[in-house]
Amino acid sequence: MKPIKTLFVDDDINIHDITKILIDLGKLPFDCRFALSGEEGLKVLRSSTDNFPEVIFVDINMPLMDGFGFLNHYENEFLTGFPNTLLFMLTSSMRSTDKDRIKKYTFVKDFLPKPLEPELWEEIHIKYLY
């Protein structure tokens, strides 16, 4: 099975470590690159035109540029050129105000709790990538 190019944007290094472990344990086909901020995530995307992610996970609550700021930049810079990339928003709180705000970004596929449990990785793989 071909690895799925994935970008994981979250300011919590522990979430990165947990994500790596869960992907390895579940033998999931996600080939993840990690960014610790929205700005770093955008830099990765700007340098990835030949190797653009198929899936992007973005934390909502990050310092300086939050997930919504990332989405605004993504929409302006990348959405037209990479319309098939799947975006998911991650959060440790499931506030209804965040869910309502995300609805304006029609290109965001889902709002997910973090850390992503193996079942969610599998569900994403089956629902969106098969």
Residues in contact with 126: Cβ distance below 8 Å, sequence separation at least 6, in sequence order:
none
| Spatial distance between the Cα atoms of 26 and 18, rounded to a whole number of angstroms | 12
Residue-wise pLDDT tens digits, 3-42: 899 999 999 999 999 999 988 887 888 899 999 999 999 9
Return the pLDDT at 58: 97
Instruction: Render 65-92 in DSSP notation, one character per residue.
Output: S-HHHHHHHHHHHTTTT-TT-EEEEEES
Asked whether the predicted pLDDT for residue 130 surpasses 80, the reply is: no
Token representation of residue 118: 């193996």
pLDDT tens, residue by residue, 32-89: 999 999 999 999 999 987 899 999 999 999 998 999 999 999 999 999 999 999 999 9
CATH code reported for the domain at 4-129? 3.40.50.2300
pLDDT of residue 96: 76
Q: For residue 94, is pLDDT > 70?
A: no
| pTM strictly above 0.75 | yes
